[in-house]
Amino acid sequence: ASANIGVVGLAVMGSNLARNLASREGNTVAVFNRSRSKTDELVAAHPEAEFVPAFSYEEFAASLQKPRTAIIMVKAGAGTDAVIDALTGVFEPGDIIVDGGNALFTDTIRREKAVRATGINFVGAGISGGEEGALTGPSIMPGGSDESWVTLGPILRSIAAVAEGEPCVTHVGHDGAGHFVKMVHNGIEYADMQLIAEAYDLIRRGTSKTPAEIADVFAEWNRGELESYLIEITAEVLRQTDAATGLPLVDVILDQAGAKGTGAWTVQTALNLGVPVSGIAEAVFARSLSSHPEQRAVSRDLPGAEEDLEVEDADAFIEDVRLALYASKIVAYSQGFDEIRAGAAAYDWTIDLGAIAKIWRGGCIIRAQFLNRISDAYQTTPDLPVLLTAPYFVDALTRAQGAWRRIVATAAASGIPAPAFSSSLAYYDGLRAERLPAALIQGQRDFFGAHTYQRTDKPRTFHTQWSGDRTEVEAEDTH
């Protein structure tokens, strides 16, 4: 046995991760793929790498030093279960199986329990950053046991992205915690992308700027508090010209956004947990709306706003859009971290929210300067109930809120959809409200279903006898 780490599944992610591992001092990497050709190709293409190719699960297990450590990078779902079954057949108690695929965290919880019963450790690890991240340094979000972290920690630290001198990996929490956090990362990514898209759309429709000129706006924004990978690549995409037509590429790309499902998982999970991730949900729904050409076609002649958007002072408008984007982004991240906090409480994980913000600073799609402000906030107040109430964000929102309101109002008045901007503002105002119309909803619920209500002026639970004389009686606490 000569390898200290193994990779199963050598498609684009697995082969890049194996190369990343092999490039680090001290690593010898056992590699295995179901169909032999991928293994042969990888080994032939990279003679410089210390690979130990295996052509059966038995050979793979035999080539690994104990405790054996293997990272699975196969098609999520049935493929992952098949590989786990095969590995548990050839591994021994104390060995470690890591699933680096995009698994649903509840699958990871199930798998961890089943594998643990054999004495083998199972770690679900979210790996972000796509194929380039896998090769050059991803952000890694591992769950699993403390015992496996002892062996796995140094290996993952050696291949992770580095942000401000710190590797972008931390032991997130037990069993499915890592995949849960990776899921929310993707949800936040959906929101961030949608907000940027809404900002672009408003500037495009409100000013005479071309996509290439708007690229300059984003490049400028990328030098300030919005600095992030997504803003940076937005400028690149907007600047691109289509070779075939000479038009801006963004004008020839079909406007129907795809999705692989992790955004929907984030929202489904939030619904189950009762966490209002409205910005993320709007982003997921905006992609769905875009992808129904038949519904869009029959709706095209619906009446719109009386006047198109006409901006007098383009610079002032663009600055308003920037502030609206920043404020809405704070809401999206605040909601995402709220979901992680709720998930940790529901599944009994101890998750250091500040550490999560830190490991997202490099190697992943939402990497941004801004994440330092989030880790600062949780460092100062670890049990902060709402991220956006941290002093730094209160300052930012105070600066931004006027512009944010103007932009949402302008979008509505001119018939420009800005679902993530407007729902983020509604969330903010909902949180701020001294009184919410939830009181009326409680009254309605009590009227039709005797669901009871509580009062502002005394404890206990009450019911109004709506179908009788409408006097109030004390009720059993059933709501």
> By the criterion CB under 6 A, which residues form the site for ligand NDP?
9-14, 33-35, 38, 73-76, 79, 82-83, 101-102, 127, 130-131
Active site residue 236: no
Could you tell me the smallest distance in angstroms from the CB atom of residue 272 to ligand NDP? 22
Query: Based on CB atoms, which residue is closest to ligand NDP, 13 or 217?
Result: 13
Query: Based on CB atoms, which residue is closest to ligand NDP, 215 or 284?
Result: 284
Q: Both tokens of residue 344? A: 């940790």
Query: Based on CB atoms, which residue is closest to ligand NDP, 77 or 437?
Result: 77
Q: Both tokens of residue 223? A: 């030098």
Query: Based on CB atoms, which residue is closest to ligand NDP, 106 or 372?
Result: 106
Q: Could you say which of 48, 92, 164, 182 is catalytic? A: 182
Q: Both tokens of residue 425? A: 């503002």
Could you tell me the smallest distance in angstroms from the CB atom of residue 118 to ligand NDP? 19
DSSP state, residue 475: E
Count of H-run helices and E-run strands, the chain: 20, 12
Query: Based on CB atoms, which residue is closest to ligand NDP, 99 or 175?
Result: 99
Helix (H) or strand (E) holding 5: strand 5-8
Query: Based on CB atoms, which residue is closest to ligand NDP, 120 or 199?
Result: 120
87 close to 77: Cβ distance less than 8 angstroms: no
CB atoms within 10 A of CB 306: 8
Active site residue 472: no
Could you tell me the smallest distance in angstroms from the CB atom of residue 152 to ligand NDP? 17
Q: Is 237 annotated as a binding residue?
A: no
CA 467 – CA 343 distance, rounded (Å) = 41
**How many Cα atoms within 13 Å fall on the side-chain side of residue 98?**
28
CA 148 – CA 145 distance, rounded (Å) = 5
Which of helix, strand or coil describes residue 205? Answer: helix
CA 80 – CA 99 distance, rounded (Å) = 8
Q: Both tokens of residue 351? A: 């998750």
Report how far apart, in Å, the C-alpha atoms of 80 and of each of 87, 102, 109, 189 are.
11, 10, 14, 25
Could you tell me the smallest distance in angstroms from the CB atom of residue 303 to ligand NDP? 42
Q: Is 174 annotated as a binding residue?
A: no
Query: Based on CB atoms, which residue is closest to ligand NDP, 114 or 309?
Result: 114
Q: Give the DSSP per-residue string, 321-359.
A: HHHHHHHHHHHHHHHHHHHHHHHHHHHT----HHHHHHH
Residue 251 backbone dihedrals phi, psi, to 5 degrees: -85, -15
CA 289 – CA 388 distance, rounded (Å) = 29
What's CA 437's distance to the chain center, in Å?
31
Query: Based on CB atoms, which residue is closest to ligand NDP, 14 or 173?
Result: 14
Q: Is 254 annotated as a binding residue?
A: no
DSSP state, residue 130: H
Q: Is 10 annotated as a binding residue?
A: yes
Q: Is 133 annotated as a binding residue?
A: no
Q: Is 453 annotated as a binding residue?
A: no
Which of helix, strand or coil describes residue 126? Answer: strand
Q: Is 153 annotated as a binding residue?
A: no
Sort strands 96-99 and 121-128 into parallel, antiparallel or unpaired.
parallel
Could you tell me the smallest distance in angstroms from the CB atom of residue 34 to ligand NDP? 3
Q: Could you say which of 112, 189, 282, 339 is catalytic? A: 189
Q: Is 187 annotated as a binding residue?
A: no
Q: Both tokens of residue 317? A: 């408008």
Could you tell me the smallest distance in angstroms from the CB atom of residue 115 to ligand NDP? 16
392 close to 202: Cβ distance less than 8 angstroms: no
Q: Is 75 annotated as a binding residue?
A: yes
Cα diameter, the chain: 87
Could you tell me the smallest distance in angstroms from the CB atom of residue 275 to ligand NDP? 24
Could you tell me the smallest distance in angstroms from the CB atom of residue 131 to ligand NDP? 5
Residue 121 backbone dihedrals phi, psi, to 5 degrees: -85, 140
* Residue closest to ligand NDP when measured from CB atoms: 101
Q: Is 173 annotated as a binding residue?
A: no
CA 86 – CA 430 distance, rounded (Å) = 51
Show binding-site residues for substrate: 102, 128-130, 185-186, 190, 260, 287, 445, 451
Show binding-site residues: 9-14, 33-35, 74-76, 102, 128-130, 185-186, 190, 260, 287, 445, 451
- Residues carrying an active site annotation: 182, 189
